[in-house]
Structures are given as C-alpha cells and as structure tokens.
Amino acid sequence: MQLQSQSALSCAGGKLQVVPTSIPDVKLLVPKRFEDERGFFAETYNMRAMSEINLPALFVQDNRSFSRRRGTVRGLHFQMPPRAQHKLLWVIRGAIFDVAVDLRKGSPWFGEHVSTVLSAKEGRQIFVPAGFAHGFCTLVPNTEVYYKVSETYAPECEVGIFWNDPDLGIDWPATEDRAIVSPRDLALPRLNDIVDILPFGFVS
C-alpha cells in the first residue's frame, strides 16, 4: 500500500505537519524548516509536539545507519514485547525507500504495508509504531539514516521477516538478485512462518 500524501494537518503551532498514510497508525511527519542564505534549521524531535499529535513521545536510544552502496536492504526488523519499539526515523544523507508492515493481529491492515521515499533533501520523517516490521532500501550511495527508538536494543526480543516475502507484495526498488542484504537478513522467515507467535494486538 502506498503513502497517501494528499492531505496534511498542521500541528504544534505550524511547526510540524502530519501526513496520513493508508495505515492510520503510521505517520509521515514534516518538520518546519527555517531557511536563509546559510542553509536551514529544523527541529528533528520535540517531545511536546509529539504529545500534541498523540504520538508516543519518549525515546530512549538513538541509532545511526550508514550504507555505502545503492540497493542496500536492511530489514524487515522488529522487537517483541516486553521490548517492542516505536521508531521515529529520517534520512540525514541520501535517500531510502522505507517500509512498515502491520503485524497486529485483528488489524484491518494485517500483513499490509506502507511505503514511502525519505530523503535528506526533503527532511520528512516516518513514525512506525510497535507492532510493525520495518525496513528500507537505499536509493543512492553513501546514505545515512538516523532514528530514535522507545526501547533499547534487546537481541533476545529481536525478530524479523524476509524482506522480499512475496505474500507482502512490496514493490522494492531493488530486485532479489541485485539487492545487498546481510546473511542474517537473508535467513529471516516469511510472515506465514511466524504468524502464530506474533503477540501484537490491535486496538481500534
């Protein structure tokens, strides 16, 4: 499922915009940029602004990912309870094709996904709530991604889904024979193989 970018709601005094997506709990955020001849300034995170748009505002760990080559795929990853993570992610150099897959049992969108392009040039962010698998593919060389998470990394809770699981129907910008994927991610199961152990519920 693709991003629905037609409407944007002004929030936090006009400093932050929220763009709805085809799965409502996944949000695209557009921080306000203040530009002049020197460049620009933007708030990448504001706890009060997040609270005002009813998104979880407390993050406990920041992560930075660098990928040298175009077509590098990272994902699809998530953490199980009690260490499930909300994520707030943006690109600080380059561009990515970003994906969030709904894993919440009982959700009308279970197994469906939101995809969008994020770039350092545009500065948009994506909020991915707990209960979603997340991944991305780099669109240009030397891409850096920065993201905040609401729980620290817990390897005992880390799970994933094979990035190109045909049942997910994700239209990745890299084919399976050309994508650059880690051996660990290549060994991840398909969604149908782990659906019985998924603990996430859906609250309307």
The pair of structure tokens assigned to 171 is 């239209």
Question: Which member of 45, 77, 113, 134 is catalytic?
Answer: 77
The amino acid present at 24, given as its one-letter code, is P
Q: Which residues contact 123 (CB under 8 A, 6 or more apart)?
A: 30, 31, 33, 42, 90
Specify whether 134 is catalytic.
Answer: no
Q: What is the 3-state secondary structure (H, E, C) of 137-187?
A: EECCCCEEEEEEECCCCCHHHEEECCCCCHHHCCCCCCCCCCCECCHHHHC
Task: Please provide the distance, in angstroms rounded to a whole number, between the alpha carbons at the two ends of the chain.
Answer: 20
CA distance 33 to 28: 16
Rounded CA gap, 76 and 36, in Å?
38
Q: Hey, CA dihedral for 191, 192, 193, 196, is it positive or negative?
A: positive
Of 86, 113, 134, 147, catalytic = 147
Q: Residue 86 catalytic?
A: no
The catalytic residue positions are 77, 147
